[in-house]
Homo-oligomer: A and B are copies of this chain.
């Protein structure tokens, strides 16, 4: 198992970059490049035809469009991880966009590398993705932290607002697109009372209108699914 080579696939449109990467990886003792593609469209087909699937797929984030429709590394990542859950997708990109990184992780990417990293880092990443299941470096972690829900200290905020149970209850019903009267019926109280609670909510949350209430509820994870 430890001596078995890590099967690596490359998805990268620039021929030179792809060849260079292949050359670098060829020098590594326990890595074998056994798959490559210049665009995203044919990858799934090629993989289904493979006798052995690659362990790790290095995917360029900016893949070329096919005529009109675009099929970039993000979409490919999503499709690959859904159809081949065992393949670890490692994104290569020139950019370093936080929200993009977070989204890629969300779409199932196992790691993210900028293209100007050194070869050793590529090797570490492949190794880490294969053995640990992921390769998250500091910048990726920061990206994740910045995009892992925007709620900073929800408990503190909630506590300071001091919403009552009834208010939370009504807020949740508002967020389910109920009108004031519908809420009143469901809670067996007067519509006027609901209106009063709604106004308290507006005041307590500092909202201008229902939109603000919904955004608040979302930020505080108060939504019932």
Contact = CB atoms under 8 A, between A and B. Distances in A.
Given A138-B134, A214-B214, A148 B147 contact: yes
A68 interface: no
A6 interface: no
A144 interface: yes
A223 B214 CA distance: 13
Nearest to A215: B214
A158 interface: no
A208 B133 CA distance: 42
A186 interface: no
A137 B132 contact: yes
A215 B145 CA distance: 23
Nearest to A139: B133
A106 interface: yes
A211 B174 contact: yes
A159 to B, nearest CB: 11
Contacts of A134: 136-138, 140-141
A87 B134 CA distance: 23
Contact of A133 (B103, B138, B218): B138
A151 interface: yes
Given A177-B207, A209-B177, A211-B177, A144 B148 contact: yes
Smallest CB-CB A-B distances: 5 pairs: A133-B138, A106-B148, A136-B136, A134-B141, A214-B214
24 contacts: A102-B148, A105-B145, A106-B148, A106-B149, A108-B151, A133-B137, A133-B141, A134-B138, A134-B141, A144-B144, A147-B148, A150-B225, A175-B211, A175-B215, A177-B208, A177-B209, A177-B211, A177-B215, A209-B210, A211-B211, A211-B214, A214-B214, A214-B218, A215-B218
